[in-house]
Chains A and B, each alone.
Chain A
Amino acid sequence: MPLTKTEQIVNASLKARRKKERAFQLFGIAAIALALFFLVTLMGSILSKGIPGFFQYYITLEIELDRERLDPLGDLSEQSLFDGQAKKIIEEVVLEKTGAKSRNGRKAARKLLSNGSDTRLTSFVRANPSLLNSTQKVKFALDDDADSYFRGFVKKETPEQQRRLSNIQIEYLDKMNEDGLISHEISDYLFFGSASRNAEMAGIKGAAIGSVLTLLVCFVIAFPIGVATAVYLEEFAPKNKITEIIEININNLAAVPSVVFGILGLAIFINLFGLPRSIPLVGGMVLALMTLPTIIISSRAAIKSVPPSIRDGALGVGASKVQATMHHVVPLAIPGMLTGTIIGMAQALGETAPLLMIGMVAFIVDIPGSVTEPGTVLPVQIFMWADFAERMFVQKTSSAIIILLLFLILMNGGAIWLRKKLERRW
């Protein structure tokens, strides 16, 4: 059968069309490959640095928990434990284990354990008062330089003046390792420690709690305001010049650099209202300003996606506008609103710049107990750690990044789960 005219024309153009399609496909694949390459490199670098950061080296020592010496007042009070000789007791054991005799040797041996060892011993005593006056095995963290030796960052071959450990210190460490005192374990300081200048003691607990408190404030403020704004703009606002300008501005706000919100927060909340610096309350309010546009935009999209026929159905049986909105439109839009909110909050979780502006970058050892106590947040903690040169801080920085990423994945996963769970069909 002869080809029709249309078929002839179509056939003639087929080759060129195919070629275009192939080129387009290739371009797409190349773009994805490039993106994947960067992703893998990034994840590889973070994981390779960060995973070792989850572990650190500990030394287990047998300590005689002499009550007279540890708790001179006998009431286990902070004062009493502070007056006690925890530090001295540990040092005696270390000197014995290393066999350090000379003045220099003893000085070198003392520096092998973390500065926080005496606090660790007193908290151990406080937690287990029944063990007083007995001999117990207690685990202490190694000082970060000693830790670096076992990690292989400090090498014996390096000339003594150029490394952070002296020959004699290395000798002691080797000896204790041979005696089986050194162990490599998951770092409890990383998870339960707070800000510290000593790398081996630094942890994210304070920052993580600060993040949670800040996000809580952010949610409590941004979600209701955002949803109310979206509902009003979508359902009730007259369509005129003023609402149009408001709409355009909300959309533009979503693109404003976050640091600007920090400056705004500094000017309004701190300078004008006189709220204290560095507190999660102000941080949360600033982040709420920042996430509001995201929440409003996604909530409006969620409301728009509710079919108008549902509204008509409600109005048709005599529901008022508010009833139709509250009984039908909002419940159907809630999953979309929540998804948008979680994504906005995830953004807020990773935000650093605006919080620097309001002073959440201060070095705070205490863990914030409420939204009005000074604190910091995870990304700011990461930012601060990244500034320190110690090898262990470098690793802990990556570990904290992994934890932050896990939080983000968790939140985004939660958003997906919510959407799947609440999704309705009509």
Chain B
Amino acid sequence: MTDIVETIVNCDGVSVFYGENRAINNISIDIGKQSITAFIGPSGCGKSTFLRTINRMNDTIEGCRIEGRVTVDGQDIYDASVDVVPLRAKVGMVFQKPNPFPKTIYENVAYGPRIHGLARNKSQLDDIVEKALTGAGLWAEVRDRLQDSGTSLSGGQQQRLCIARTIAVEPQIILMDEPCSALDPIATSKIEALMSELSNEYTIIIVTHSMQQAARVSQKTAYFHLGNLIEYGDTKEIFVRPKDPQTEAYISGKIG
């Protein structure tokens, strides 16, 4: 049933602990290249925690510990020799709440390329910024106000700015943790359209509370419950014929 062409992220027996608390319990999963994978499940089941293991953002949390193996492009990212800086350049992240830097729109997008030294001069940087903003579907709206503060944009625009900021470093994988939860339906549909477009180039993993959103945008869906991966498969299959009774109960609105 799995028709993954090529695996980019492979997790093998991953468990995550916050102090003594086990938030993720022995999860193994393969995620395909250039596709959209949705993580769904009731609140507190560990979707965010699991998503954050893939770019090691959990490292910033005091007392968070991980067991098992996570590989990206075949490389064990928890190996002692791995530096998180290039890893996070490769695995970008868009957060639940839009969090642009309180700097200009231009600086927001230019920040990543600048610290990684992706542009050799100003005009190259300009090009990268334009390309990223175009990719995020924001260029037309902000081309005349690049020097305005990023925080002066609307919520939906801010979230697209954050997406532009992420794709400006040309990652391979983009992790999105409920990127539309603070947005209205119109802004949401814009971002969904954007995701579909981006999936031609990038691998996208999205956490969402909206069944419809998962059904609309993703090719694969993983259902989490209390730190366990209950079911993982083609989105169509999961929504039409869930194999596990828990998945079925959640999708039909009985657990939530």
B129 contacts the other chain (CB 8 A): no
User: Which residue of the partner chain, among A307, A312, A318, contacts B85 with CB atoms under 8 Å?
Assistant: A318
Partner of A317, one of B60, B89, B151: B89
Known: A315-B88, A323-B115, A425-B151. A310 touches B101 (CB 8 A): yes
The minimal Cβ–Cβ distance linking A24 to chain B, given in whole angstroms, is 38
Residue in B55, B89, B99 whose CB lies within 8 Å of A309: B99
Residue of A307, A318, A327 contacting most chain B CB atoms (<10 Å)? A318
A48 interface contact, C-beta 8 A: no
**With a CB–CB cut-off of 8 A, which chain B residues contact A311?**
60
Instruction: Check if B86 sits within 8 Å of A316, measured CB to CB.
Output: no
State which of B3-11, B161-169, B224-232 sits at the interface with chain A.
B161-169
Q: How many residue pairs, one in A and one in B, have C-beta atoms under 8 Å apart?
A: 69
Say whether A425 contacts B165, CB under 8 Å: no
Distance A317 CA – B116 CA, assembled complex (angstroms): 9
Tell me if A224 counts as interface (CB < 8 A to partner B). no
The answer to whether B102 touches A425 (Cβ under 8 A) is yes
- Tell whether A317 pairs with B166 under 8 Å between CB atoms, given A309-B99, A323-B115, A424-B102: yes
The answer to whether B101 and A318 have CB atoms under 8 Å apart is no
Whether the pair A312, B115 counts as a contact (CB closer than 8 A) is no
A317 to B115, CA, bound (A): 9
Q: Give Cα distance in the complex from A313 to B100, angstroms.
A: 7
Interface readout for A293-321 with B: 1 if CB under 8 Å, 0 if not? 00000000000000101111111111110
Q: Which residues of chain B come closer than 8 Å to A318, judged between CB atoms?
A: 85-89, 92, 112, 115-116, 169
Closest chain A CB from B69 CB (angstroms): 22
- Number of A residues, CB within 8 Å of B: 21
- Bound-state Cα–Cα, A310 to B166, Å: 14
Answer whether residue B131 sits at the interface, using C-beta atoms and an 8 A cutoff. no
Determine the distance from Cα of A319 to Cα of B92 in the docked complex, in whole angstroms: 11
Task: Give Cα A318–Cα B113 distance, bound, in whole angstroms.
Answer: 10
Decide yes or no whether B57 CB sits under 8 A from chain A: yes
- Specify the chain A residue showing the minimal Cβ separation from B55: A316
Which B residues, 59 to 87, have Cβ-Cβ distances below 8 Å to chain A? 60, 62, 85-87
Contact A313 B95 (CB under 8 A): yes
Question: Which chain B positions have C-beta within 8 A of A307?
Answer: 99
On chain A, the residues within 8 Å of B102 by CB distance are 310, 332, 424-426
Asked if A5 CB lies within 8 Å of chain B CBs, one says: no
Q: Do A312 and B57 contact each other (CB < 8 Å), given the known contacts A320-B85, A327-B111? A: yes
Complexed CA–CA distance, A328 and B97 (Å): 18
A18 interface residue (CB < 8 Å to B): no
Q: Report Cα–Cα, A1/B195, bound state, in Å.
A: 56
Name the A residues within 8 Å of B55 (CB-CB). Answer: 316
Query: Contact partner of B169 among A317, A320, A323, A424, CB < 8 A?
Result: A317
A313 close to B165 (CB less than 8 A): yes
8 Å CB contacts to A: which residues of B176-226?
none
A239 at the interface (CB under 8 A from B): yes
Minimum CB–CB distance from B16 to chain A (whole Å) comes to 17
Interface residues in A210-267 (C-beta closer than 8 Å to B): 239
Bound CA span A327–B101, Å: 10
CB distance from A320 to the nearest CB of B (A): 5
User: CA separation between A425 and B162, bound complex, in Å?
Assistant: 17
Q: Is the CB of B101 within 8 A of A313?
A: yes
CA distance A309 to B151 in the complex (A): 13
Residues of B within 8 A of A425 (CB): 102, 151
Q: Least Cβ distance of B107 to chain A in Å?
A: 10
The residue in chain A whose Cβ has the minimal distance to the Cβ of B166 is A317
- Chain B residue, CB-CB nearest to A321: B60
Residues on the A chain within 8 Å of B168, using CB: 317
- Are B165 and A317 in contact, with the CB atoms below 8 A? yes
Chain A nearest CB, measured from B19 CB (Å): 12
The reply to whether A239 and B88 contact each other, CB–CB distance below 8 Å, is no
- Within 8 Å of chain A (Cβ to Cβ): is B93? yes
Closest to A307 in B: B99
Chain B nearest CB from A57 CB (Å) reads 59
| Apart from the given pairs A309-B97, A317-B165, A426-B100, 15 other A-B contacts in the complex at a CB distance below 8 Å | A310-B102, A311-B60, A312-B93, A312-B95, A315-B60, A317-B89, A318-B112, A318-B115, A319-B112, A319-B115, A323-B115, A327-B111, A327-B115, A328-B101, A332-B102
Name 26 A/B residue pairs within 8 A (Cβ), A-sorted. A307-B99, A310-B99, A310-B102, A311-B60, A312-B57, A312-B60, A313-B165, A315-B60, A315-B88, A316-B55, A316-B92, A317-B88, A317-B92, A317-B165, A318-B89, A318-B92, A318-B112, A319-B111, A319-B112, A320-B85, A323-B115, A328-B101, A425-B102, A426-B100, A426-B102, A426-B151
**7 A-B pairs with least C-beta separation:** A318-B89, A317-B112, A309-B99, A316-B93, A318-B88, A313-B99, A426-B102
